């Protein structure tokens, strides 16, 4: 089995971060290397950890995902970014992709869509 994909989670909800960490921790393909509680924590943590994939919530009070994504893209151009939000609609999807996200997953579909999205963005990079 090749090395697991390193993932950084960014969300303003500690409860959601725990759920996502537990969910991804069950996969033999992924290793959660860190969790940032909000957008302001994310940039320095991403620089330190250099994850392959960063999963970013779009709606955070300190620094929202649409503002954070371009900063992450500049700081870590090799990292793949997946936007994650409760808002499963074309407007939020298009805004996330325009901001520089590689993919978009609705939180309501996380159980079915997040792991395939992580696989796909890493595969596109190869």
pLDDT in tens, 52-77: 999 999 999 999 999 999 999 999 99
Q: Model-level pTM greater than 0.85?
A: yes
> Of 43, 39, 32, nearest to 12 (Cα)?
39
pLDDT-derived band of residue 1, with 50, 70 and 90 as boundaries? very low
* pLDDT digits 0-9 by tens, 87-98: 778 898 999 999
Percent of the chain with pLDDT over 70: 96
pLDDT-derived band of residue 86, with 50, 70 and 90 as boundaries? confident
Inter-residue contact 33 to 7 (CB < 8 Å) = yes
Structure confidence at residue 2 (pLDDT): 60
- What is the residue-averaged pLDDT of the chain? 92
* DSSP code per residue over 48-91: HH--SEEEEES--SSS-HHHHHHHHHHH-TTSEEEEEES--SHH
Name every residue whose Cβ is closer than 8 Å to that of residue 43 and which is 6 or more positions away in sequence. 68, 71, 72, 75
* pLDDT digits 0-9 by tens, 103-123: 999 998 888 999 999 999 998
Instruction: Indicate whether 124 pLDDT > 80.
Output: no
H or E stretch covering 40 = helix 39-49
């939000």: which residue's tokens? 85
Structure confidence at residue 4 (pLDDT): 92
pLDDT-derived band of residue 126, with 50, 70 and 90 as boundaries? very low
H or E stretch covering 9 = strand 5-11
């Amino acid at each position: 089995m090749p090395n697991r994909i390193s993932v950084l989670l960014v969300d303003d909800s500690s409860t959601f971060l725990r759920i996502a960490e537990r969910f991804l921790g069950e996969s033999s393909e992924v290793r959660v290397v860190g969790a940032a509680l909000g957008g302001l924590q994310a940039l320095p943590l991403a620089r330190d950890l250099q994850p392959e994939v960063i999963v970013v919530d779009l709606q955070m009070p300190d620094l929202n995902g649409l503002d954070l994504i371009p900063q992450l893209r500049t700081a870590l151009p090799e990292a793949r970014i997946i936007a994650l939000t409760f808002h499963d609609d074309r407007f939020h999807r298009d805004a996330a992709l325009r901001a520089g996200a590689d993919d978009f997953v609705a939180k309501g579909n996380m159980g079915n869509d997040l792991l395939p999205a992580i696989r796909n963005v890493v595969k596109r990079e190869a």
